Amino acid sequence: MNLTELLPASQNLAAVRRADPETADILAAESARQQSTICLIPSENYASTAVSAALSSTLTNKYAEGYPHLWTNGDRVERNGRYYQGQANTNAVERLAIRRALALFTPDPENYHANVQPLSGAPANLAVLHAILQPGDVFMGLKLAHGGHLTHGHHVTVTGEYYNAVQYGLDETGAIDYDELERVALSSQPKLIFCGATAYPLQIDFARIGSIARRVGAVLVADVAHIAGLCVTGLHPHPFPHADIVTTTTHKILRGPRGGLIVSKKQFGPAIDRSVFPGLQGGPHMNAIAAIAVALKEAASDAYRAYAAQVVANARELAEGLLHEGFRLVGGRTENHLLLLDVVNGTNGCRAKNGSYLAAQWEKAGLVANKNPIPGDAKAWLPSGIRVGTPAVTTLGMKESEMRQIARWMADATRHADDDGHLEVIARQVAQLMAAFVPPTAV
Ligand code: DSN
C-alpha cells in the first residue's frame, strides 16, 4: 500500500515528512489503520477536517492562563482576564466556545456557566470534585465493573484515594439499581452524586437520580461524555435541570478534538473556574478550544441531529444482528449508541474464554473494539465483556445494512477466533468495505 496516498490533509503530513520522516511514517500508518479497519470503540470517532484544521492552527503557540471573563469568589472579584499579554484572539475564541456550549447544552444560557478548558474528561471530573468537596468528603458513583468511569470513585484513582467514594451498581436485569442508589444515598449522605457511565447501554433516569440527590442535599453531577450528542438532540433525556453540573469529553460522540467541558448551574461557575485554573491546570490548549468551538457549531446543525438518530438506529440494528447470531448482551438490548457483550456466555459459538482474547483476535479481522468489565468481573484487565458502539461507523455514513454485515463478521470472527488465517480473510473483506467509507481526515 502506498501510504502517501492516505496523508491526512489537515495534518499537513508532507511538512512532517520533510522535517521528520520517522514520525511521518507512523502518522501515515495510523491513517492507513483507520482507513482499513472498522472502529467499533464507542468512545472514538472521526473529527471533521475543519475540527482537525483548527486543532493544528497557530493557537497552539499561545499561552493563555486565566479566563476571558472576571473570576469571582462569591461576590468578590478575584481576577480579571489572563496573566499574559496578546490575548485578543484567545479571548474571542474561548468566548465563542463558551457561548456555543451554553446554547447547545442548557435550556437557559443566562442561568448557566460553561468552562471549556479541561484537557479531557478525567480532568473535568476531577475539577468538579475539587470544586465541590474537601478531601475525605463522601461522594457516590457507579461501579467501574457496572459501567461507571474510573473517576467516579474507583480506588485506583485520586477520586477514590482523596475522597470517601461510595459506589452503587446495576440490578440483575442490567439496569441501574435506583432503589439501591437511594438506599446508599440515604445511609451515606454524600455531598455529591456522580451519574453517567462509559459502558451502559440503557437510558439514564436523570429525573429520578435528581430527586434522590435533592433529598439528601447532594450536588448531582452528570458525566454525559458518552451520550452528550444524544442528550442535545433529544434522543436521550437531558440531564438539565435535574443535574447541577454536567461534564463531557468533546471527542466522543460530539466529534470534536480531545478535550472536556463543564457546564453548570450558574452558582457553581466561580468554584469550577478556580478549580480548573489555577487549581489543576496551567495554560489551556487554545488550539483545542478553537476546535471545540467548531465541533459545537457542527453539533448544533440539522445534519448532526440526523447523524445522532442514525447512531441510535445503527446500534439497535447491530444489537438485533448480534442477538440473532447468539451473542449475549448485558441489559439485553441497547437504548443508546453502545452494546456491552458478555462474551463468556454467548451461544451458537458466539463465546470466548474472555474479552481480552476475543478483542485481540477481532483486531486481526479488522474489527477494532475494546475489552470491558461486566457485572461480576473482578479483573478489569481480564474481563468477560467487549464494548462496541456505532458513533464512528455512523460518521463514515454506514447504515443498517452495514450493521447487519458487521454483526455477521463479529460472529464469524468469534466462531473462528483461534484461526488466524480465517481472521485474515475477514480482514480483507473489512478493508474492501472500508474503501467505500473514507474517514474525513484521510481525504
Ligand atoms: N476511555 C473512555 C471510554 O472509552 O469510554 C472513558 O474515559
Q: Final residue of a domain: which of 273, 299, 325?
A: 299
**Which domain range does residue 112 map to?**
60-299
Ligand 1: lining residues by beta carbon, under 6 Å:
43, 121, 149, 198
Distance 74 CA to ligand 1 centre (A): 34
Band of residue 378 on the pLDDT scale cut at 50, 70, 90: confident
Query: For residue 396, what is the domain's CATH number?
Result: 3.90.1150.10
Band of residue 6 on the pLDDT scale cut at 50, 70, 90: very low
Q: How far apart are CA 338 and CA 194, in angstroms?
A: 20
- 390 is annotated as an active-site residue: no
Count of H-run helices and E-run strands, the chain: 16, 15
Q: Are residues 233 and 128 in the same domain?
A: yes
3-state helix vs strand vs coil in the chain, percent to 5: 50, 15, 35
Query: For residue 153, what is the domain's CATH number?
Result: 3.40.640.10
Q: What is the pLDDT of residues 141-175, one digit of tens each?
A: 999 999 999 999 999 999 999 999 999 999 999 99
Whether 167 maps to a domain, the answer reads yes
Whether 27 maps to a domain, the answer reads no
- 65 is annotated as an active-site residue: yes
Whether 333 maps to a domain, the answer reads yes
Distance 293 CA to ligand 1 centre (A): 22
Q: Is the pLDDT of residue 235 over 50?
A: yes
> Pick the catalytic residue: 37, 90, 200, 223?
223
Q: Is the pLDDT of residue 64 over 70?
A: yes
Q: What is the pLDDT of residues 247-296, one digit of tens each?
A: 999 999 999 999 999 999 999 999 999 999 999 999 999 999 999 999 99
- 266 is annotated as an active-site residue: no
User: What value does the mean pLDDT take over residues 217-233?
Assistant: 98
Q: Minimal CA–CA distance to 99: which of 300, 359, 383? A: 300
Q: Are residues 132 and 145 in the same domain?
A: yes
Grid cell at residue 164: 470517601
Cβ contacts of residue 312 below 8 Å, gap of 6+? Answer: 230, 235, 335, 336, 337
What pLDDT score was predicted for residue 7? 41
Q: What is the pLDDT of residues 294-327, one digit of tens each?
A: 999 999 999 999 999 999 999 999 999 999 999 9
Phi and psi, residue 69, nearest 5°: -140, 175
The number of domains in the chain is 2
Band of residue 380 on the pLDDT scale cut at 50, 70, 90: confident
Question: Looking at the DSSP assignment, which residues form a beta bridge with residue 77?
Answer: 72
What pLDDT score was predicted for residue 2? 41
Q: Are residues 286 and 367 in the same domain?
A: no
Q: Are residues 156 and 266 in the same domain?
A: yes
Q: Final residue of a domain: which of 237, 266, 299?
A: 299
Question: Looking at the DSSP assignment, which residues form a beta bridge with residue 222?
Answer: 195, 246
Determine what percent of the chain is predicted with pLDDT higher than 90: 91
What pLDDT score was predicted for residue 139? 98
